[in-house]
Amino acid sequence: MTVDKTKLSYRNKIILAPMVRVGTLPMRLLALEYGADIVYTEELIDLKMIKAKRRINDVLGTIDFVDPSDGSIIFRTCDKEKDKVVLQLGTSDAERALAVGKIVEHDVAGLDINMGCPKEFSIKGGMGVALLSKPDKAVEILKTLVDNLKIPVTCKIRILPTTEDTINLVTKFAATGIAAIGIHCRRKDERPQHQPHPNVIKAVAQAVDIPIIANGGSREIDTYRDIFKFRDRCGVDSIMVARAAQLNVTIFRKEGLLPIFDVIKKYLKLCVDYDNPQSNTKYCVQSMLKELQETPLGKKFLLTQTLHQICNLWDLGDYCYKKQLEYQEKGNFGRREVCPGAIPGDDEETDGPQSKKHKPESETPASSPDILEHNIAFYRANYVEDTSLPKSILHTFASKNFKGVPKYEIQRFDKLFRAICSFDGKKYASTFWEKNKKYAEQGSALVCLLNLGLIEESELIKNGSILR
C-alpha cells in the first residue's frame, strides 16, 4: 500500500530542531508532551545507520537500531512518536541515503537531509553545508529519496551569501518534490553569537510555494509567545526551536515555562523508562542547569558517574534502581549479542550498499586454558554502595586473608573491553565484553568471587549478571 506523503504536514507547526546529543528519545517525548508538533532526531550518519541492526525491544516497548560492533543504540524510537518524529540524516551519497531511508521508513514519519551543519566533521565528509556548494549532488539525493520512499522528505539548509542565491537554491530543491525546507537564518560561517537574518528567510518564503521552516532565533526566544514573534519576523508559518528548547523544553508549553528542576525530574524519569545512556542524560541535564552547576546541588551533579546517582539528586534513586532491575529480570540484555570480531551484515541480505567492514584494532584476544572464564556481565544498578562492588569485596577478602592485592590486565577490541583478574596464583575473566574498562574489571572480579565461593551463582542469575 502506498503511504500518503502529505500525512505529515509541515504547515503551522512548532518543531523541536535537530540537536547533537540532545534530540534523543527522552527529550523528543518530553517536547511532544509539552506542545511540540514535530520532533527531529539528532543528525545520524548514513554509514552508521546502514550497518545498524533493527531490533524490537519488547522490554522497553521501543524499536532499536543497534551498532553491532559494541551494542550501543544508534537510534531508538517508539510508537508514542511514530507519526511525529523526523530522522535527520547526514549523508553525501544518494545511494547510501536511500538505503537508510528504506531501513527506517516504517518507523519514522519523515526523513530530513542535513545540509546546514557547519562542523568540520560534516564538511570533510561532504555532508552538511558542503552540499550547498554542490547543488547537483544535493538535488540527486533529494530526488532519489522522494521517488523511492513512502515518507515525506525534507532538507535543512543555511542561507547563502545573497538572498538571490538562497532563493535560487531553494527553488531547485523544491522542484524535487520534497515536503518542506528548514532554513537556519545564518550563513555557514556564522555562529549563534551573530545576528540572524530573518529578512532573507522572509524573501525566500514569498518566492516559493513549499513550506519554509525558520530556525536560528533562539537568541530572542525566551517565552512561548516569542516563538510566534520570530515566526512572524521570518514570514513563515512554521518554526524550529533549538537552543531555547535545550535550556528548557517547556518553551513549547502555551501556559509558560515550568521550573527547571521540575523539568529535569520529568526528563530523568523518561531516561530511566527508556534506558537512556548515563553520558547522554548527564549532557542534557548539564545543559539545562546552566549556571546552577555552581550551586551545591549542581556540584554534586557534576560528580555523578551513573544514572542512578543522577536520579538520587532528584529523589528518583529508588525508582531508577527498581526499574533497572525490572528490565534486567525481563531480559533487556541487548549487548549480550555483541561478539568481538563479528562483521555486520554477514548473515543478512541487504537492499543497499554496506559500510566498510568492521576492522579490529588487533586480532580477537584468544581465551587461554589458564584463565577461569564465565559469561558474567557487570550491572552497576545491582550495587547501591561502593563497598558492595565486586572489586571492593575481593580486595577486602584479600586483605583479611593476607593474600596479594588482585591485579587487572585490560584487553581491548575495537570499542569493547574485558579484564583478566590475577589473584592468588590464578587468573579469572568474563567472556562478556564491556563498554568500559572499569566495568570490565568489575566483571572479572565477579568471576573470581564466584570461583572462590564468595558469591552464589543463583544470586548472579537473579540480578541478571548471568543469563539462564
At residue 165 the predicted structure's pLDDT band, cuts being 50, 70 and 90, is very high
341 pLDDT higher than 60 = no
Beta strands in 343-463 (DSSP E): 371-374, 407-413, 416-423, 426-430
Same fold, 14-256 and 365-462: no
What region does 424 belong to: left with phi over 0, alpha with psi -120 to 50, or beta?
left
Average pLDDT, the chain: 89
Please, what CATH class does the domain formed by 365-462 belong to? alpha beta
Residue 467 has a pLDDT of 59
Between 288 and 120, name the one with better pLDDT: 288
Please state which of the ranges 34-43, 119-128, 132-141, 246-255 shows the lowest mean pLDDT: 119-128
At residue 344 the predicted structure's pLDDT band, cuts being 50, 70 and 90, is very low
Distance CA 148, CA 2 (A): 11
In the Cβ-directed half-sphere of 140, how many Cα atoms lie within 13 Å? 11
Helices (H), 208-316: 224-234, 243-247, 260-273, 278-289, 296-302, 307-313
At residue 172 the predicted structure's pLDDT band, cuts being 50, 70 and 90, is very high
Residue 241 has a pLDDT of 97
Percent share of the chain, pLDDT over 90: 71
At residue 7 the predicted structure's pLDDT band, cuts being 50, 70 and 90, is confident
Distance CA 413, CA 450 (A): 25
At residue 387 the predicted structure's pLDDT band, cuts being 50, 70 and 90, is confident
Beta strand pairing status for 85-90 and 38-40? Answer: parallel
Distance CA 129, CA 85 (A): 23
Residue 232 has a pLDDT of 96
Distance CA 348, CA 10 (A): 36
C-alpha cell of 225? 509567545
At residue 346 the predicted structure's pLDDT band, cuts being 50, 70 and 90, is very low
8 pLDDT higher than 70 = yes
179 pLDDT higher than 60 = yes
189 pLDDT higher than 90 = no
354 pLDDT higher than 60 = no
452 pLDDT higher than 80 = yes
CATH superfamily of 14-256: Aldolase class I (3.20.20.70)
333 pLDDT higher than 60 = no
Beta strands in 58-210 (DSSP E): 62-66, 73-78, 85-90, 110-115, 153-158, 180-184
**DSSP type of residue 223:** S
Residue 182, classed as helix, strand or coil, is: strand
At residue 367 the predicted structure's pLDDT band, cuts being 50, 70 and 90, is low
Beta strands in 159-211 (DSSP E): 180-184
List the chain domain ranges: 14-256, 259-339, 365-462
Q: Say which residue the cell 539545562 belongs to.
A: 288
1 pLDDT higher than 70 = no
Distance CA 107, CA 58 (A): 15
211 pLDDT higher than 90 = yes
Residue 89 has a pLDDT of 97
Residues 288-316: tens digit of each pLDDT = 999 999 999 999 999 887 888 899 999 99
Residue 219 has a pLDDT of 84
At residue 335 the predicted structure's pLDDT band, cuts being 50, 70 and 90, is low
Residue 230 has a pLDDT of 96
Residue 295 has a pLDDT of 95
CA 79, 80, 84, 90 torsion: positive or negative?
negative
Residue 357 has a pLDDT of 33
Residue 80 has a pLDDT of 97
Which of 114, 15, 27, 102 has the alpha carbon at shortest distance from 65?
102
Tell whether pTM > 0.75.
yes
Which of 361, 383, 366, 390 has the alpha carbon at shortest distance from 451?
390
C-alpha cell of 279? 553520558
Residue 359 has a pLDDT of 37
Residues 238-284: tens digit of each pLDDT = 999 999 999 999 999 999 999 999 999 999 999 999 999 988 999 99
As annotated, the active-site residues are: 117
Distance CA 151, CA 378 (A): 41
342 pLDDT higher than 60 = no
Tell me what the mean pLDDT of segment 354-359 comes to: 34
352 pLDDT higher than 70 = no
